[in-house]
Amino acid sequence: MYTSRIIEAKDKSAYNSFIARHPKGHFLQLWEWGQVKNLTGWKPIALALEEDGQIKAAMLILKRSLPIPGVKRSIFYAPRGPVADPDNLQEHRRLFEFARNIARREGAIFLKIDPDVAADNQDYAGILGACGFRRREAGLNFEGVQPNFVMRLDLTPDYEQLLANMHHKWRYNIKLAAKKGVTVTIAQDLEDLKVFYAILQETAQRDRFLIRGYEYFASIWEHMITNGYARIFLAHYQEEVVAATLAFILGDKAWYLYGASSNRHRNVMPNYLLQWEMISWAKEQGCKLYDFRGVSGDMDENNPLYGLYRFKKGFNGVLTEFVGEWDFVYQPAWYWLWTKAVPVYLGRRRSGAGQGGD
């Protein structure tokens, strides 16, 4: 018989162990990731479905209040959740029923999920539909909350075969970086974190994209890195850190999340060596899968994001499409306001703020 409960801090080890060993486990469903997101205004709620005292399915929900003064409503989001058997309709129904009960208490108007399940699993789409979810189209690029297309690398071949499977130019660049004297180390303390963030800022300014504040990465250090769920890799050249990356690890999977490079010494190809060091590290830790994370689903070479796909493809990454974003609507009227009216309201409010912004 199934029972459901909210996981408390004292039970986080059992919860995390289940997430780590489950085939659909993901670092975004860890208890600690909820603590990271708590810093940015999301309240974490970890749910577990149990049978005979053993966790059978789980889901970390992030709750956020609607950004409208005086309105006591919220949204629920389970990043890469739920963690459940994709062939088990009953597990999903019971877990989502429990989430609905929590939603009533928390004033949630809908629950958004984007499961770690490939799009070619049509049966799973049927399960979500049977549970009352509706799919949200997220586009081919990065319009969704999480990337719907990623590049993944099978780590089961030996090191020599992993290298042999790469594009010859990628192998050359890895060897070139090492020959030029580039070395890679693991960040050891908060001073190293500051170096990583400084290079990330430099990259963001050069490539014109926004990044989160330093406090966010300090929280990742506190909750994820110190608990063994992530590492920062630093590439050194001539006694200077010229590139850096942040990778996550859980169970037999690893994810490349952030990459940054200095404007200096890019010709010594530190980013290629960094990727190889992360791939090697993941394999050493017993990982069977290395996830390069997001790319565009549009393979047109004229797409501005094509270079990202090409870089990850060169390491022999394989394109994976997920089943996408799905919403379970608890309050239809409020859901309509959230999807139709609130974006207009927020756009007008930002316009009225002028150049000051936030």
Instruction: Please tell me the predicted confidence (pLDDT) of residue 358.
Output: 37
Per-residue pLDDT of the chain (358 residues; tens, 9 = 90+): 899 999 999 999 999 999 999 999 999 999 999 999 999 999 999 999 999 999 999 999 999 999 888 889 999 999 999 999 999 999 999 999 999 999 999 999 999 999 999 999 989 999 999 999 999 987 788 888 999 999 999 999 999 999 999 999 999 999 999 999 999 999 999 999 999 999 999 999 999 889 999 999 999 999 999 999 999 999 999 999 999 999 999 999 999 999 999 999 999 999 999 999 999 999 999 999 999 999 998 888 989 889 999 999 999 999 999 999 999 999 999 999 888 865 555 454 444 433 333 3
How does DSSP assign 123-160, residue by residue? HHHHHHHHTT-EEE--TTTT-SSS-SEEEEEE--S-HH
Cα–Cα distance, 234 to 241 (Å, whole number): 6
Instruction: Please tell me the predicted confidence (pLDDT) of residue 68.
Output: 82
Residues 6+ apart with CB under 8 A from 138: 144, 148, 324, 325
3-state secondary structure of 93: helix
Are the beta carbons of 324 and 125 closer than 8 angstroms?
no
Tokens read off for 33:
């990731």
Are the beta carbons of 295 and 151 closer than 8 angstroms?
yes
Q: Which of 28, 49, 31, 35 is nearest to 99 (CA)?
A: 49
Are the beta carbons of 155 and 315 closer than 8 angstroms?
no
Instruction: State CA 324 to chain mean position distance.
Output: 14
Q: Where do the domains of the chain lie, and which CATH numbers do they carry?
A: 2-140+323-352 (3.40.630.30), 150-321 (3.40.630.30)
Cα–Cα distance, 39 to 61 (Å, whole number): 15
DSSP H helices in the chain: 12-21, 31-38, 89-106, 122-130, 159-164, 168-180, 190-207, 214-220, 270-284, 306-313, 332-336, 342-352
Tokens read off for 296:
């565009």
Are the beta carbons of 220 and 36 closer than 8 angstroms?
yes
Helices (H) and strands (E) in the chain, counts: 12, 14
Instruction: Please tell me the predicted confidence (pLDDT) of residue 342.
Output: 59
